Copies of this chain bind each other. A is one copy, B any other.
Amino acid sequence: MSVFDDKKWLTEVFADSGSVFGLAITRKLDEVQSPFQKIAMYETSHFGNLMVIDDVIMLSSRDNFLYHEMLSHPVLFTHPNPKNVVIIGGGDCGTLREVLKHPGVETVTQIDIDEQVTRMAEKYFPELCASNNDPRATLQFADGIKFMREAPTESVDVIIVDSTDPIGPGEGLFNRAFYASCLQALRAGGILVQQSESPLIHMPLLSAMRQAMSDAGFAALQTLNFPQMVYPSGWWTCTLARKGAAFNGFREADAQQAPFATEYYNVDIHKAASALPNFMRKALEAS
């Protein structure tokens, strides 16, 4: 059996898959106990800075581009003309930065419950916070569930739920009541997108999420696959739910001519992400 050497490691045990993942750390940078959670920052040997919340790995400098790009660009190029965007969670501001790359977006309101996440990101992921002062952006530190419940009817084009796992503060973001609030706040044809865990490990959760979205009244669902090394299994998804309309491709020409750079996303990747392996098809049909 391999053993760790005398380097320091930040490890996370994934109890529901009997697996462990870790990164070699060169030093601990910071730690703060907010009213909601414990936020710790580390410097790693190969992955830049690392944010860990309540001992769960959130993001690293090196691989966050996968998640942030896939949570932003597919939904924004699928909507015909997204002007008003809401981000629930997303306190590290990486999703916000990607959304603001779209020139047609007029307002982005980000609601993270924990201001300390953003303060840490400003300090240790300044590149992700580069667009925080964009005049189109509003950062609120408040309860996203309440925000969506009170949002004016048909006022939003795209809602991005960039949250932690469905335990702790993120729990209320994965149920029918929350999705009903989102549906009500979306304009016709509007789209909700949410991170939806790993197909290899969390298929029952993914199925349940999709069921709750359907139960809340969303007309069509689309799950997209992408790699994400620092999350359980390294294989992650997000799920799009559309109000009142089926999915019918995306604005391919606009994506092809996007006036901004991406590291992962492109037209081919967007198309590829929606391909579902046989075992996922079977699980989703059965649910």
Binding site for B on A (CB under 8 A): 1-5, 8-13, 16-24, 44-47, 55, 63, 200, 225, 227, 229, 233-235, 261-266, 268-269, 271-279, 281
Contacts and interface: CB of A to CB of B under 8 A. Distances in A.
Given A20-B21, A234-B235, 18 more contacts: A1-B8, A2-B11, A2-B13, A4-B11, A11-B20, A18-B23, A18-B24, A19-B21, A19-B47, A200-B229, A227-B235, A229-B234, A234-B234, A263-B278, A265-B277, A268-B275, A269-B276, A272-B274
A24 B4 CA distance: 15
A47 B18 contact: yes
Q: How many copies of this protein are present in the complex?
A: 2
29 contacts: A1-B10, A1-B11, A2-B10, A2-B12, A2-B13, A3-B11, A4-B11, A5-B13, A16-B46, A17-B46, A18-B44, A18-B45, A18-B47, A20-B23, A21-B21, A227-B233, A227-B235, A229-B233, A234-B235, A235-B235, A262-B278, A263-B278, A263-B279, A264-B277, A264-B278, A264-B279, A269-B275, A272-B272, A272-B275
A275 B265 contact: no
B9 A20 contact: yes
Nearest to A264: B277
Contacts of A233: 227, 229, 234
Contact of A20 (B4, B277, B279): B4
